[in-house]
């Protein structure tokens, strides 16, 4: 009963947000003189033939996998009160270097893939580690530093692509790295469609889906069932209480950012290993920023993030068909942006409501709480550090 009610209140906020976003978008579409019904139809129209329909599902799933990983990367840091806005840069750096490494070596199948994964995770973790080190040693807000590192990563990646790792010929319109040999490809899951009796789609369903599921389960278990996860969440809820309980805040920042960056390193791999086989100027961009939206929509829980990623992928699929229906594709971005804004507002309202209900339930909470202010998870974007030692040490 209580579990059911808790689930209900957990779903309430995102559901409300999606409804609000849909209404706003409908109004926007009406305002430009098009029919929102048409847009809805396009969103829901997966195609006429069975093959087209499974193809639509594959497109959605293939898009959802990197979004899910990106959301996870953001959420891990978020749960301890850190804002890793640098996921974008972390995955760009990780993907270009993993593509380079994958193309440079020849190993037997599984090992080759494993090497690429390890390189990607290591690069992502190191890149995120810079943010962590700057935060704990120099007190630089992770928000600002990770944003700056995004630009640095984009510049560096573009230099690596045009310079040392260049694989395509001089003068080619699209510059790419050298293709990864077949031993480094990740097998697809199209066999599944045959097993469950669905038509074969045109494209391959990324096998990386399985990796994403495993990562999701591991993250869920670590966060909720382990000591480490407890320390992490405690730091997120109250840095001062966590420190007093014996959590080493600085070490926690570094560990969390390394994990977050490691997961961020995986974001580009579904596309890299399942489809393009190289990194290039046309490689999917913006996944890191969307990950922030996905993590917020999913309220930081792996299950929620999975649903959020599917929702975003579902919306993304409609971008091209929408244009055929004379509706600007950026409607999708507007829906997504509105959902995020609506969901953060709804989350906040739900949190206040829950608090009030809890206080009423036991009828004893001090009605006026001691502090008039509450710090958000990100903390201020200045130089404030969760660890009192820093101040004292200077």
Partner 1 sequence: MAEAATGGAHPPGTATGDVPYAVELRGITKRFPGVVANRDIQLRVRRGEVHAIVGENGAGKSTLMKTLYGMHRPDEGTILLDGREATLRSPSDAIAAGIGMVHQHFMLADNFTVLENVVLGSEPTRGGRLDRATARRRITELSDRYALNLDPDVLVEELGVGDRQRVEIAKVLYRGATTLILDEPTAVLVPQEVDELFGNLAELTREGLTVIFISHKLDEVRKVADSITVIRRGTTVGTADPRTTTARQLAELMVGSELPTPGARSATVRDVPVLRLRGLTVASQGSRPAVDDVSLLVREGEVVGIAGVEGNGQAELVDAIMGLRPLADGSVELGDQDIADWSTRARREAGVGFIPEDRHRQGMLLDAPLWENRILGHQTRPPAVKGLFIDRRAARADTERIMEEYDVRAPGPDTPAVALSGGNQQKLIVGREMSASPRLLVAAHPTRGVDVGAQAAIWELLNTARAEGLGILLISADLDELISLSDTLHVMLRGRLVATLDPTAVTPEQLGGHMTGAHDGAAGAA
Partner 2 sequence: MSTATTAATSAPNRGPLTELLLGGGKARRITWGLVGLMLLMSVVRIVSGEQALTSSSTFATALLLAVPIGLAALGGLFSERAGVVNIGLEGMMILGTWGAGYAGYQWGWVGAIVGGIVLGAAGGLLHAIATVSFGVDHVVSGVAINILAGGIVRFLSELVYAGSDVGGGVTQSPALSSRPPSFSLPVLSSGPDLLGDLQDTDWFLVSDVAGLLRGLTSGVGILTLIAILLIPITYLVLWRTAFGLRLRSCGENPAAADSLGVPVYRMKYIAVVISGGLAGLGGVALVFVANIYKEGQTGGRGFIGLAALIFGNWRPGGLAAGAGLFGFADGLQLRSRTAVVALLLLLAVLLLAVAVFQTTRGKYVQAVVAAAFAGLSLVGFLTIEELPTGIVSFTPHLITLLVLSLASQRLRMPKADGLVYRRGDH
Give 179's DSSP letter: P
Do 182 and 164 contact (CB within 8 A), yes or no? no
Q: Is 49 left (phi over 0), alpha (psi -120 to 50) or beta?
A: beta
Collapse the DSSP code of 78 into the 3-class scheme (helix H, G, I; strand E, B; otherwise coil) and give the result. Answer: helix
Give 299's DSSP letter: T
Decide: is 54 part of the binding site for partner 1 (CB under 8 A): no
Q: Could you give the CA distance from residue 90 to residue 289 in angstroms, rounded to a whole number?
A: 11
Q: Which of 278, 284, 272 lies closest to 316 in space, CA to CA?
A: 284
Task: Indicate which single residue of 230, 310, 377, 378 sits in contact with partner 1 (rule: CB under 8 A).
Answer: 230
Q: Could you give the CA distance from residue 35 to residue 168 in angstroms, rounded to a whole number?
A: 45
Q: Is the dihedral of CA 63, 184, 155, 159 positive or negative?
A: negative
Taking the complex as a whole, the smallest distance from the CB of residue 94 to partner 2 amounts, in Å, to: 17
Nearer to partner 1, 136 or 180 (CB): 136
Taking the complex as a whole, the smallest distance from the CB of residue 382 to partner 1 amounts, in Å, to: 14
Site stretch for partner 1 (CB under 8 A), options 30-38, 232-240, 271-279, 317-325: 232-240
Task: Indicate which single residue of 183, 289, 310, 319 sits in contact with partner 2 (rule: CB under 8 A).
Answer: 289
Nearer to partner 1, 41 or 224 (CB): 224
Query: Residues touching partner 2: how many (CB under 8 A)?
Result: 67
Q: Which of 243, 46, 220 lies closest to 136 in space, CA to CA?
A: 243
Q: Could you give the CA distance from residue 296 to residue 299 in angstroms, rounded to a whole number?
A: 5
Report the partner that residue 237 touches, choosing among partner 1, partner 2, none (CB closer than 5 to 8 A by kind).
partner 1
Nearer to partner 1, 234 or 345 (CB): 234
Task: Indicate which single residue of 138, 202, 225, 384 sits in contact with partner 1 (rule: CB under 8 A).
Answer: 225
Report the partner that residue 361 touches, choosing among partner 1, partner 2, none (CB closer than 5 to 8 A by kind).
partner 1
What is the rounded (10 degree) CA torsion for 198, 203, 208, 209? Answer: -40
Q: Rounded to a whole number, what is the largest CA-CA distance in the chain? A: 74
Do 18 and 163 contact (CB within 8 A), yes or no? no
Decide: is 224 part of the binding site for partner 2 (CB under 8 A): no
Binders of partner 2 in range 24-53 (CB under 8 A): 28, 32
Taking the complex as a whole, the smallest distance from the CB of residue 222 to partner 1 amounts, in Å, to: 10
Report the partner that residue 358 touches, choosing among partner 2, partner 1, none (CB closer than 5 to 8 A by kind).
partner 1
Q: Which of 192, 200, 212 lies closest to 63 in space, CA to CA?
A: 212
Decide: is 379 part of the binding site for partner 2 (CB under 8 A): yes
Task: Indicate which single residue of 243, 276, 301, 386 sits in contact with partner 1 (rule: CB under 8 A).
Answer: 243
Q: Could you give the CA distance from residue 109 to residue 164 in angstroms, rounded to a whole number?
A: 25
Residue 59's Cβ-side half-sphere holds a number of Cα atoms within 13 Å equal to: 16
Binders of partner 2 in range 156-195 (CB under 8 A): 156-163
Taking the complex as a whole, the smallest distance from the CB of residue 3 to partner 1 amounts, in Å, to: 10
Decide: is 338 part of the binding site for partner 2 (CB under 8 A): yes
Quick note: the x/- pattern for partner 1 over 343-372, rule CB under 8 A, is --------x--xxx-xxxxxxxxxxxxxx-
Q: Could you give the CA distance from residue 140 to residue 384 in angstroms, rounded to a whole number?
A: 8
Taking the complex as a whole, the smallest distance from the CB of residue 255 to partner 1 amounts, in Å, to: 14
Query: Residues touching partner 1: how many (CB under 8 A)?
Result: 45
Decide: is 377 part of the binding site for partner 1 (CB under 8 A): no
The structure tokens 């293939």 sit at 62
In the chain, the N- to C-terminal Cα span, in Å, equals 52
Binders of partner 2 in range 129-158 (CB under 8 A): 134, 138-141, 143-145, 147-152, 154-158
Please classify residue 345 by burial: count the beta carbons closer than 10 Å to its beta carbon, then call 0-12 exposed, 13-18 middle and 19+ buried: middle
**Binding positions for partner 1, rule: CB under 8 A:** 2, 225-231, 233-234, 237-238, 240-248, 351, 354-356, 358-371, 388-389, 391-394
**Binding positions for partner 2, rule: CB under 8 A:** 28, 32, 83, 85, 134, 138-141, 143-145, 147-152, 154-163, 289-290, 292-293, 296, 328-331, 333-334, 336-338, 340-341, 344-345, 347-349, 352, 368-369, 371-384, 394
């Amino acid at each position: 009963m209580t579990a059911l009610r808790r689930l209900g209140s957990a779903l309430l906020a995102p559901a409300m947000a999606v409804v609000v976003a849909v209404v706003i978008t409908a109004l926007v579409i009406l305002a430009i003189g098009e029919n929102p019904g048409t847009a809805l139809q396009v969103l829901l129209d997966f195609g006429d033939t069975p093959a087209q329909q499974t193809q639509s599902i594959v497109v959605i799933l293939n898009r959802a996998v990197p979004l899910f990983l990106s959301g996870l990367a953001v959420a891990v840091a978020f749960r301890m009160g850190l804002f890793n806005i640098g996921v974008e840069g972390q995955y760009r750096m990780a993907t270009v270097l993993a593509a380079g490494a994958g193309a440079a070596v020849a190993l037997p199948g599984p090992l080759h893939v494993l090497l690429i994964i390890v390189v990607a995770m290591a690069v992502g973790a190191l890149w995120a580690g810079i943010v962590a080190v700057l935060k704990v040693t120099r007190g630089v807000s992770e928000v600002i530093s990770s944003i700056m590192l995004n630009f640095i990563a984009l510049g560096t990646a573009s230099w690596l692509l045009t310079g040392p790792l260049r694989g395509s010929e001089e003068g080619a319109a699209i510059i790419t790295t050298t293709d990864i040999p077949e031993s480094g490809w990740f097998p697809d899951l199209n066999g599944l469609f045959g097993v469950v009796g669905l038509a074969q789609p045109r494209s391959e369903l990324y096998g990386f889906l399985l990796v994403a599921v495993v990562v999701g389960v591991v993250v869920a278990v670590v966060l909720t069932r382990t000591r480490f996860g407890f320390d992490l969440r405690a730091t997120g809820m109250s840095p001062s209480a966590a420190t007093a309980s014996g959590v080493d805040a600085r070490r926690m920042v570094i560990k969390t950012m390394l994990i977050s960056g490691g997961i961020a390193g995986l974001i580009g791999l579904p596309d890299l290993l399942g489809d393009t086989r190289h990194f290039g100027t046309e490689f999917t961009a913006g996944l890191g920023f969307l990950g922030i939206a996905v993590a917020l929509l999913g309220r930081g829980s792996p299950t929620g993030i999975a649903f959020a990623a599917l929702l975003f992928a579902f919306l993304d699929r409609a971008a091209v068909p929408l244009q055929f229906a004379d509706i600007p594709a950026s409607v999708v971005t507007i829906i997504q942006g509105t959902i995020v804004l609506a969901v953060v507002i709804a989350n906040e309202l739900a949190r206040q409501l829950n608090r009030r209900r809890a206080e009423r339930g036991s009828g004893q909470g001090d009605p006026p709480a001691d502090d008039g202010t509450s710090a958000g998870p990100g903390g201020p974007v200045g130089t404030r550090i969760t660890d009192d030692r820093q101040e004292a040490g200077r």
